[in-house]
Chains A and B, each alone.
Chain A
Amino acid sequence: MSVDAAALQTARTGAGAAAPTAARRGRRSRLASVGLHAALVTASFVAVFPIFWVLVTSFKPDARAVSPTPRLVDESSVDNYVDVLSGARGDFLAWFGNSVTIAGLTTLLGVFVSSTTAYAVSRFRFPGRRGLMLTFLVMQMFPFAVLIVPLYNILLALGLQGRSLGLVLVYCTTAVPFCTYMLKGYFDTVPTDIDEAGRVDGLSPFGVFWRLVLPLARPGLAVTAFYSFITAWGEVAFASAFLSAADGSKTLSVGLQVFIQQNRTEWGHLAAASVLVALPAVAVFYLVQRFLVGGLADGAAKG
């Protein structure tokens, strides 16, 4: 994991960084080195510990999870996972499937429409271009969930209320503005010469987009996909409003609320379910993390 990422880092910073003289000049004193690593270890600990602690708790029975003297291992077993997965507390697997479908579709659709839009905005100077970008900025300013009532009416009119597709479309609208900004920044870094060479080689403007620019913007697409996925994966408010109340059609984030009751939270079970929910997100994250650094900055810098 670390080797992979580190190798990429060297590739990114380029040959200049690898020059031997630079390495010698850049050498730190022992003290500075210890301080640097100490700071990063502390920060990493803070970043990881809450998640780690959920993982630890997920193996404990509910009663031990609230023990006043927390220990790393306390009657730990995989019982919580068995309970959650067996469907004793609601159809976890169905929720999971729904979430995967909805987040997957959101990612696919969100990345697709934001990439076409971003390409148009990056390459063509058409009337309305500025207005579109400003609309995207303004779209992020309104507390979206306050639109639930009007949205409900519209989805009802379109026959999408209670259907996954309706929720997917709503998620797309929340993800698209940021994704478009980011991809635009990314497309801006692809030289227009490439587009022109493609035009001369016989591609239409759409062909240029599809066969040249998209493959070249893969890192940017990865980051966008990650963002869309995360947006849809953990969302609660829309999911509870726009999906039917039947247990089998809930998403994970809605379904998990059964473990949180008014006065007694089933911490052990909740932890186990959380770990199961977090795993796919972390997996997606791991797949794209090596693209994150370049991708986001390119987007933000030129946004």
Chain B
Amino acid sequence: MRAFLARHWYAYAMVLPVVVVVGALVLLPLAQGLYFTFTNINEATIANPVLDRPASYEFVGLDNYVNVLTGGESYGAFWSTLGRTLIWTFGCVLAHYAIGLGLALLLNRRMRFRGLYRVLLILPWAVPPFISVFAWRYLFNSQFGIINQALGALGLPTPVWLGQSDLALFSVMVINTWLGVPFMMVTLLGGLQSIPRELYEAAEMDGASAWQRFRDITLPGLRSVSSTVVLLGVIWTFNLFHVIFLSTGQNPHTRILVTYSFERFFSGASRDYAVASTYGVLILSLLLVFVTIYRRAMRRQGEVW
């Protein structure tokens, strides 16, 4: 034991602050949140120190899970919401990746104004998201938004972008794509720059065309960066609530799992913490399954991490 500590004590000293904070502010709440999913806790039954009211919530077993998973409308129509969540997540990540890669490839060439382009293209990342969302709501506004003004001037239909229709889902995906591309672009650009030039030169010697060089050198060279950012992208997007919440508020057409969890949490007189936590746990479980499969697939392709 002494030898063990002597060898590792500085490593443990260095991770200690994080472990303490994470333990207190993540694992403990997580455990408590998990417990809530087996109770009927809500605004009426939670302990309220201001009113000096003790907690009166009770253990209800798996009721919350049963209610949610049977897919009732009053519990957020779990399955159809899940479907929408998948469309949202994979749609956004695909758009982020495709556009980000495209722009990174363009920016990876030597040309004039390259630095300027790069700064401008990363800018959406620098602006706090609630302001970006505000900006887009302003652009998308059906009456005075500049997008509809332009469409109207061209004689095209001027739809209600963020209204009560599936168009709203498309619109928030556009907004989120705009928000998320810079991160992908910057990361992939860094990945592109780390591919040794000699590989391209060797491929050119071997007579590879531009497309072949892209397919056989660029894409494999980006694989480790790509696999990480796509994984993070999926996790983040799956759990991204503020873009949807700030754009459309509580709109069943843009409802994904995490926003419904927030709906139950924040709104209505009841503030149903139990159902909100149940959604949280379900989200965590789904992502854990996804990550496990993803990592296994990556490892099978020879990725080691």
List residues of chain A with CB under 8 Å of any chain B CB. 1-9, 12-13, 16-17, 23, 26, 28, 33, 36-37, 39-40, 43-44, 46-48, 50-51, 53-54, 57, 65-70, 113-114, 116-117, 119-121, 123-124, 126-127, 129, 132, 135, 137-151, 153-154, 156, 158, 169-170, 172-173, 176, 178, 180, 204-206, 209, 230, 233-234, 236-237, 253, 256, 267, 270-271, 274, 277-278, 281-282, 284-286, 289, 292-298, 300-303
Q: Are B121 and A12 closer than 8 Å at their CB atoms?
A: no
The 8 Å CB contact of B22, one of A51, A135, A237, is A135
Choose among B13, B27, B132, B283 the residue that contacts A141 (Cβ–Cβ < 8 A). Answer: B283
Residues from chain A with Cβ under 8 Å of B14 in the complex: 116-117, 119-120, 206, 209
C-alpha spacing A50/B273, complex, angstroms:
36
Docked-complex contact B115 and A4, CB < 8 angstroms = yes
Is A39 in contact with B106, judged by CB distance below 8 angstroms? Answer: yes
B126 contacts the other chain (CB 8 A): yes
* Complex Cα–Cα for A36 and B128 (A): 29
Q: Is the pair B291, A132 in contact by a Cβ cutoff of 8 Å?
A: no
Verify A150–B28 contact, CB threshold 8 A.
Answer: yes
Residue of A nearest to B238 (CB): A141
B87 sits at the interface (CB 8 A): no
Which 6 pairs between the two chains have the least Cβ-Cβ distance?
A297-B190, A5-B115, A234-B128, A285-B126, A2-B116, A150-B29
Nearest to B277 among chain A residues (CB) is A146
- CB neighbours of B218 from chain A (8 A): none
The residue from B29, B117, B288 contacting A151, defined by CB atoms under 8 A apart? B29
For the complex formed, measure the closest distance between the CB of B8 and the CB atoms of chain A, giving whole angstroms.
4
Contact with A along B92-118 (1 / 0, CB 8 A): 000000000001001101110111111
Binds A, one of B30-38, B60-68, B73-81, B160-168: B30-38
Verify B288–A124 contact, CB threshold 8 A: no
Please, which residues of chain A bring their CB within 8 A of the CB of B305? 303
CB distance from B56 to the nearest CB of A (A): 15
- Bound-complex Cα distance A213 to B12 (A): 18
Q: Give which listed residue, B144, B178, B181, B246, contacts A67 with CB less than 8 A.
A: B144
A119: B residues at CB distance < 8 A: 14
Question: B134 — which chain A residues lie within 8 A by C-beta?
Answer: 54, 270-271, 274
- CB neighbours of B8 from chain A (8 A): 124, 126-127
What is the distance, in angstroms, from A245's C-beta to the closest C-beta of chain B? Answer: 12
B242 close to A (CB within 8 Å): yes
CA of A5 to CA of B117, assembled, Å? 10
Instruction: Give chain B residues whose Cβ lies under 8 Å from the Cβ of A142.
Output: 30, 33, 239, 280, 283-284
In the assembled complex, the Cα of A1 lies from the Cα of B115 at a distance in Å of 8
Residue of B nearest to A116 (CB): B14
- State in angstroms the CA–CA spacing of A277 and B127 once bound together: 9
Contact of A145 with B123 at beta-carbon distance under 8 Å, contacts A205-B10, A293-B186, A301-B224 already known: no
User: Is there an interface contact between A139 and B120, defined as CB atoms closer than 8 Å?
Assistant: no
A284–B126 alpha-carbon span in the complex (Å) = 8
* A68 adjacent to B178 (CB under 8 Å): no
**A140 contacts B225, CB within 8 Å?**
no
A234 touches B187 (CB 8 A): no
**How far, in whole Å, are A144 and B240 apart by their CA atoms in the complex?**
10
Q: How far is the CA of A296 from the CA of B229 in the complex (A)?
A: 10
CA distance A129 to B12 in the complex (A): 10
Known: A6-B116, A146-B265. 16 other contacts (CB 8 A): A7-B115, A36-B111, A37-B113, A44-B117, A53-B146, A141-B284, A149-B33, A149-B41, A149-B46, A151-B25, A234-B130, A271-B134, A284-B126, A294-B190, A297-B187, A300-B190
Binding site for A on B (CB under 8 A): 8, 10-15, 17-19, 21-22, 24-30, 32-33, 36, 41, 46, 49, 103, 106-107, 109-111, 113-132, 134-136, 138-139, 141, 143-144, 146, 149, 178, 181-183, 186-191, 193-194, 197, 224-225, 228-229, 232, 235-236, 238-239, 241-242, 246, 258, 261-262, 265, 273, 276-277, 279-280, 283-284, 287-288, 291, 305
Q: Are A3 and B262 within 8 A (Cβ)?
A: no
Contact partner, B194, options A205, A253, A301, Cβ 8 Å: A301
Residue among A132, A178, A298 making CB contact with B19, cutoff 8 Å: A132
> B190 touches which one: A121, A147, A296 (CB < 8 A)?
A296
Known: A116-B15, A127-B8, A138-B288. A292 touches B114 (CB 8 A): no
Selected from B32, B36, B131, B232, the residue in CB contact (under 8 A) with A234 is B131
The one of B12, B126, B191 in contact with A282, judged by C-beta atoms closer than 8 angstroms, is B126
Task: List the B side residues contacting A47 at CB < 8 Å.
Answer: 120-121, 123-124, 178, 181-182
User: In the assembled complex, which residues on chain A have CB atoms less than 8 Å from the CB atom of B24?
Assistant: 154, 158
Q: Which residues of B contact A123 (CB under 8 A)?
A: 11
* Beta-carbon contact of A12 and B261 below 8 Å: no
Q: Is the CB–CB distance between B191 and A300 below 8 Å?
A: yes
Q: Which residue of the partner chain A has the closest CB to B29?
A: A150
A4: B residues at CB distance < 8 A: 115
Chain A minimum-CB-distance residue to B266: A237
